[in-house]
Amino acid sequence: MYSGLQGRRNMDPHGDDDGGCEVVETQELWDGKEIRRYWSEVSVSVTDDKSFSTTQPLLLKRRNTTSQIAIVGSNLYSIESLDYEIAENELFKQDWRSKKKKQIFQYVLLKWAFALLIGLGTGLVGFLNNIAVENISDFKLLLTTNLMSEQRYYTAFAAYAGCNICLAVAAGALCAYIAPAAAGSGIPEVKAYLNGIDAHSILAPSTLFVKIFGSILGVSAGFVVGKEGPMVHTGACIASLLGQGGSRKYHLTWSWLRYFKNDRDRRDLITCGAAAGVAAAFRAPVGGVLFALEEAASWWRSALLWRAFFTTAVVAIVLRAFIQFCSTGNCGLFGLGGLIMYDVSSAEAIFSAPDILAVIFLGVIGGLLGSLYNYLVDKVVRTYSIVNEKGPVPKILLVLTIAILTSCCTYFLPWSAKCIPCPEDITVSCPTVTSGNYKAFQCPPGHYNDLASLFLNTNDDAIRNLFSTGTKKEFQISSLFIFFVAVYFLGIVTYGIAIPSGLFIPVILAGACYGRLIGRLFETISHLDTGLFALLGAASFLGGTMRMTVSLCIILLELTNDLLLLPLVMIVLLISKTVADIFNKGVYDQILKIKGLPYMEAHAEPYMRHLVAGDVVSGPLITFSGIEKVGNVLHALRTTGHNGFPVVDEPPFSASPELCGLVLRSHLLVLLKGKNFTKEKVMCGREILGTFCASDFAKAGSGKGIKLEDLDIEEEEMQMYVDLHPITNTSPYTVVDSMSLAKAAILFRQLGLRHMCVVPRSQRQTDPIVGILTRHDFMEEHIFGLYPHMDPHKLK
């Protein structure tokens, strides 16, 4: 046992919104100004006893010191957990016993029907996203090209930058005023939700609206961002919308919709939505399933695998149908490549020992550049949060600044490149007018500007140009270096502004560029095509930033249609991830940390082995009797933010005090609103079971649940009693107070709990329960707040 446990102080009274341990005599902190001040002023150093002020710039030492609040969009909100555990109370058991085969069949059928709808909806949004981006971008680029062909260079820049600025401001305004939670990739938020974290508006309909249209506007504005991350968030939002359990407002109140009014089924739907988002973004159905399994989901089972696979298959069919429809050219450029976005199968993938050495070198470089990328993104996002928290106007001004910077780089940097004569042995036109490998820019007829071919294109077309095979000398080494440096740093400074922005495309762009550059440098000893080097470079950079392996490998193979390159892609991903893990965590894990979302890892931290469950439980403990006075219940609900309370039976209802179970705040509100009260302290479970049904206590959709303000309890009713037994979960998960905190954390994470009851090891103790553990009790902010002298680096 860690020897520095003496002098333990009580937990922050506002540090446990889910459990039943709190100092109730203190004032709540949950209004916005108090939260903001709490975030800014309270801080504890975990490695020594010195405190530092978090009012310093985020770039230096500012950090969140409580897992109770997190950044959603750019605002601070309190965080709650999701109820993945089934509350096995009398109402639930009665409902389960009364279920007929017809209802069970409806439930199973509805799961598959919703998976179908998620696939159809996400596939349709993916198609509209692609067609909108490509047509808007083509109009902008065609206008710029026509003006340049007339040698009206300043007018061309004004038109190009003006289009970018208008699109960027529109995207920023949508995020700033309608749905701040839609900013960024969205993958960290989806990952947090599937881990059991319920944050404000991350899957709301307004977030879905802004995610779709903000992504179209942001990508069309020429930012170095992708639509792939936002598509994952979009798929999750569509799934969440379907899983709301109906709507009274729109008269969707069919009884069979109530099956999904719980967090467990919504979690499965949102997992399918995340898989569908990847499938729609990359046209990679198998990669979408593996992405959900490897990166997004915290809990997985075989039945969910089947439904996720079905959902992504539906997405692939929808996209293929629209591709066939658009094959005549009526939809812009969408659909020209089938389901393969960057086909490199024409290149010969034969490799030897020198090629393996080049690939190993690529993996090491990818790991180093990826870890540096994550470090810089961390600093930039922390810095931008200082601007973003000042309100909508500063957010839009920041978007405007980055839009001007991006427009200047993409228009003026190609002037530094020399004009290159068009190759004579090509089958495509040179120079090309809109998208393509050979942009004329300022060059005379018969020549092209290789740097303009990368900058003045959509991001997808730039990647397609870099992946092109059989074009070894198409891009000069100097042009590749300039483009890499520009894209690398533009991708960093763009992430964190108030637009929907994915990280996949910037990373693939930069990786493909330095991969092709290394291919040119190794051309004397390697026989691999430079286009294949570009693919391997993209894989190495993805591995160095995202830290995924299996899903990225399959996504890249589905993107490029080259199975023969599988061994090299596997090698480069493994090496880059291994190298990058030495320095820091993956980019999505870092963003979760920056936002303050209390994500529970699958493993326990080493310092947890030196503590036991009882060490992080703080008091006093708020419990209810099995038959409790209405006034006491109402007072506890008003003075605490807890969502779970232990229920203890005492004589004469039991021989000695014993833990009856756990009751949820939401269930108490429903019970109090029904006013099944008695003047005497007697059990009246049968009357309550006859008055309510299990669906009355099902979790409502977003913002639809009963609130404390909805209760109308009269003064004389405050002295009456209410029987809590029918709604008490009689089988909560419990651990003894002497269990190691590491073991308790693993159990908590693997079972997907919201509450874990801690009971005394000794039977001689009069109290049947010591306290309640929630996810916040396993966070380092809480643990090192209790024990500021603990040094996590020495406790390994």
Contact (Cβ atoms closer than 8 angstroms) between residue 223 and residue 499: yes
* Cross-strand pairs, 664: 644
Q: Work out the number of other CB atoms within 10 angstroms of the CB of residue 625.
A: 18
Closest CA to 237 of 178, 195, 193: 193
| Residue 621, helix vs strand vs coil | strand
Contact (Cβ atoms closer than 8 angstroms) between residue 261 and residue 699: yes
Q: How far is CA 312 from CA 116, 129, 235, 293, 580, in A?
A: 9, 17, 11, 13, 31
Phi, psi of 14 (to 5 degrees): -110, 20
Cα atoms in the Cβ-side hemisphere of radius 13 Å centred on 140: 27
Contact (Cβ atoms closer than 8 angstroms) between residue 531 and residue 470: yes
DSSP 292: I
Phi, psi of 542 (to 5 degrees): -60, -45
Closest CA to 377 of 549, 487, 493: 493
Q: How far is CA 78 from CA 71, 144, 598, in A?
A: 9, 47, 11
Q: Work out the number of other CB atoms within 10 angstroms of the CB of residue 302.
A: 6
Q: What is the pTM of this model?
A: 0.89
Angle at 188 between CA 186 and CA 193, to 5 degrees: 95
Cα atoms in the Cβ-side hemisphere of radius 13 Å centred on 59: 7
Mark out the alpha helices in 174-201 (DSSP H runs): 187-194
Contact (Cβ atoms closer than 8 angstroms) between residue 691 and residue 676: yes
Q: CA 252, CA 257: separation in Å to the nearest integer? A: 8
* 241 residue type, one letter: L
Q: CA 35, CA 391: separation in Å to the nearest integer? A: 16
Closest CA to 389 of 52, 43, 782, 55: 55
Q: CA 561, CA 345: separation in Å to the nearest integer? A: 6
| Residue 27, helix vs strand vs coil | coil
Angle at 744 between CA 743 and CA 748, to 5 degrees: 120
Q: Which two tokens stand for residue 634?
A: 């109402």
Q: CA 512, CA 637: separation in Å to the nearest integer? A: 56
**In this predicted structure, what is the pLDDT of residue 251?**
54
48: part of which helix (H) or strand (E)? none
**In this predicted structure, what is the pLDDT of residue 699?**
78
Question: Per the omega criterion (within 30 degrees of 0), is the bond before 732 cis?
Answer: no
Q: CA 279, CA 313: separation in Å to the nearest integer? A: 8
**In this predicted structure, what is the pLDDT of residue 157?**
95
**In this predicted structure, what is the pLDDT of residue 50?**
32
Residues of the chain falling short of pLDDT 70:
1-68, 73-75, 96-97, 245-257, 332-340, 425-429, 433-437, 619, 701-704, 765, 792-796
**In this predicted structure, what is the pLDDT of residue 512?**
95
**In this predicted structure, what is the pLDDT of residue 636?**
93
Q: Work out the number of other CB atoms within 10 angstroms of the CB of residue 615.
A: 21
Q: CA 231, CA 505: separation in Å to the nearest integer? A: 12
539 burial level (CB within 10 Å; 0-12, 13-18, 19+): buried
**In this predicted structure, what is the pLDDT of residue 253?**
57
Contact (Cβ atoms closer than 8 angstroms) between residue 613 and residue 773: yes
**In this predicted structure, what is the pLDDT of residue 246?**
59
Contact (Cβ atoms closer than 8 angstroms) between residue 44 and residue 784: yes
Residue reference for tokens 């300043």: 154
DSSP calls for 475-544? S-HHHHHHHHHHHHHHHHHHTTSSSB-BSHHHHHHHHHHHHHHHHHHTTTT--S-HHHHHHHHHHHHHHH
| Residue 628, helix vs strand vs coil | strand
Q: Work out the number of other CB atoms within 10 angstroms of the CB of residue 103.
A: 14
Q: CA 694, CA 96: separation in Å to the nearest integer? A: 9
Q: Dihedral of the CA atoms 515, 382, 776, 9 (nearest 10)?
A: 130
**In this predicted structure, what is the pLDDT of residue 424?**
76
Contact (Cβ atoms closer than 8 angstroms) between residue 232 and residue 196: no
Q: Which two tokens stand for residue 151?
A: 């040698």
- Can you give the C-alpha Rg of the chain in angstroms? 29
Q: CA 110, CA 246: separation in Å to the nearest integer? A: 13
Mark out the alpha helices in 28-100 (DSSP H runs): 32-41, 90-98
Closest CA to 443 of 155, 138, 149: 149
**In this predicted structure, what is the pLDDT of residue 201?**
85
| Residue 421, helix vs strand vs coil | strand
Q: Which two tokens stand for residue 498?
A: 């108030």
Q: CA 670, CA 675: separation in Å to the nearest integer? A: 9
